[in-house]
């Protein structure tokens, strides 16, 4: 099988997986809510960053899914674009928006080969999407469509923590066979495509608070363990790789033209 055929096969598997997933979210998926509520800090930082930079700008959300984030900045941006490999996701995203917006454009599209001109967007963003793609291809394409003074922001899971990886192996139905949480080598590779890279890490011990019952006990333990994580990462910088999540902020795209 050629490299091109292999990529097309993966693309079709991802599309089929997400079409089915969005048609009927499984009970197994719902049980992960206790973990994903831990992302509220990162999620808010993500939304604040995009909203702050979206005013009168062109914004692209990659892998928008049915739970599209666009409503947080649709009234501020000049144009809001959202793409997803799943046609079901795009259909549900339109429904979530609830009404027609003249500045909204949603399309079924491959994020590794986008139908946009060079330097088209001021902001490109996504949550949990890069690890479903080929990272070099994805970051290269993001750099291509991003304006020289633009901003790209992504939240992605990491793949170094052995305990989290063990849980992933126990729950294969919750994820596609081709997704791969990012490694530090993937993050380091972003410097080939962007001149300014900032990465924020979160959740080493704080993920344990997800197992505690009741919002009060959960919130207290989360606050304590989150501070423990900050201390660990300050004293032992190498421990960042064992975090669950990373927020990646990219600026100054490097393209063939800019590097010539």
Q: Is residue 211 part of a domain?
A: no
High-pLDDT (> 90) share of the chain, %: 67
Q: Total domain count for the chain?
A: 1
Alpha helical stretches, state H, 148-213:
162-170, 184-189
Q: Which residue has the higher pLDDT, 80 or 14?
A: 80
**pLDDT single digits (tens) 81-92:** 999 999 999 999
| Residue 22, domain extent | 3-203+243-259
Task: Say what the pTM is.
Answer: 0.90
Q: Please tell me the predicted confidence (pLDDT) of residue 173.
A: 83
Q: Please tell me the predicted confidence (pLDDT) of residue 98.
A: 82
* 189 vs 185: CA distance, rounded Å: 6
Largest CA distance in the chain: 57
**Token reading at 59:** 């914004």
Q: Please tell me the predicted confidence (pLDDT) of residue 215.
A: 63
Q: Please tell me the predicted confidence (pLDDT) of residue 172.
A: 85
Measured between its terminal Cα atoms, the distance across the chain in Å is 35
**pLDDT single digits (tens) 35-68:** 667 778 889 999 999 999 999 999 999 999 998 8
For the cut 90, the answer to whether the pLDDT of residue 165 exceeds it is yes
Q: Please tell me the predicted confidence (pLDDT) of residue 100.
A: 82
160: exposed, middle or buried (Cβ count in 10 Å: 0-12, 13-18, 19+):
middle
Q: Mean pLDDT over all residues of the chain?
A: 89
Helix axes 87-97, 3-23, angle to 10 degrees: 40
**pLDDT single digits (tens) 11-34:** 778 876 776 877 776 544 555 566
Q: Is residue 223 part of a domain?
A: no
Q: Please tell me the predicted confidence (pLDDT) of residue 4.
A: 55
Taken in order 101, 103, 109, 110, is the CA torsion positive or negative? negative
Q: Is residue 148 part of a domain?
A: yes
Q: Is residue 34 part of a domain?
A: yes
Q: Is residue 70 part of a domain?
A: yes
Mean pLDDT, residues 131-146: 97
Three-state DSSP class for residue 64:
coil
Write b or e for each residue in 52-81: b if 16 or more Cβ atoms lie within 10 A of its Cβ, otherwise e. ebbeebbbbbbbbbbebbbeebbebbebbb
10: exposed, middle or buried (Cβ count in 10 Å: 0-12, 13-18, 19+):
middle
What is the residue whose two structure tokens read 């949990």? 128
Mean pLDDT, residues 227-233: 96
Q: Is residue 236 part of a domain?
A: no
Mean pLDDT, residues 90-110: 91
Helices (H) and strands (E) in the chain, counts: 10, 7
Q: Is residue 235 part of a domain?
A: no
Q: Is residue 228 part of a domain?
A: no
Q: What CATH number is associated with residue 135? A: 3.40.50.150
């Amino acid at each position: 099988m050629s490299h091109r055929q292999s990529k097309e096969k993966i693309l079709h598997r991802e599309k089929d997986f997400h079409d089915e997933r969005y048609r009927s979210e499984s009970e197994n998926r719902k049980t992960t809510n206790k973990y994903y509520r831990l992302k509220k800090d990162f999620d808010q930082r993500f939304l604040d960053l995009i909203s702050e930079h979206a005013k009168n700008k062109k914004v692209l959300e990659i892998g928008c899914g049915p739970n599209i984030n666009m409503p947080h900045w649709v009234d501020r941006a000049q144009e809001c674009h959202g793409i997803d490999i799943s046609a079901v996701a795009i259909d549900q995203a339109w429904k979530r928006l609830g009404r027609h917006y003249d500045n909204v454009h949603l399309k079924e599209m491959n994020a590794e080969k986008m139908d946009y001109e060079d330097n088209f967007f001021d902001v490109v963003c996504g949550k949990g999407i890069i690890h479903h793609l080929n990272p070099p291809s994805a970051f290269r394409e993001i750099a291509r469509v991003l304006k020289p003074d633009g901003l790209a922001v992504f939240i992605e899971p990491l793949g170094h923590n052995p305990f989290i990886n063990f849980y992933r192996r126990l729950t294969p139905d919750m994820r596609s066979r081709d997704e791969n949480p990012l490694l530090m080598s993937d993050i380091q590779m972003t410097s080939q495509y962007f001149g300014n890279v900032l990465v924020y890490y979160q959740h080493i011990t704080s993920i344990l608070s997800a197992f505690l019952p009741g919002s009060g006990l959960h919130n207290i333990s989360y606050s304590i363990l989150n501070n423990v994580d900050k201390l660990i990462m300050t004293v032992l910088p190498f421990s960042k790789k064992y975090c669950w999540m990373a927020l990646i902020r990219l600026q100054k795209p490097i393209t063939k033209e800019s590097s010539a």
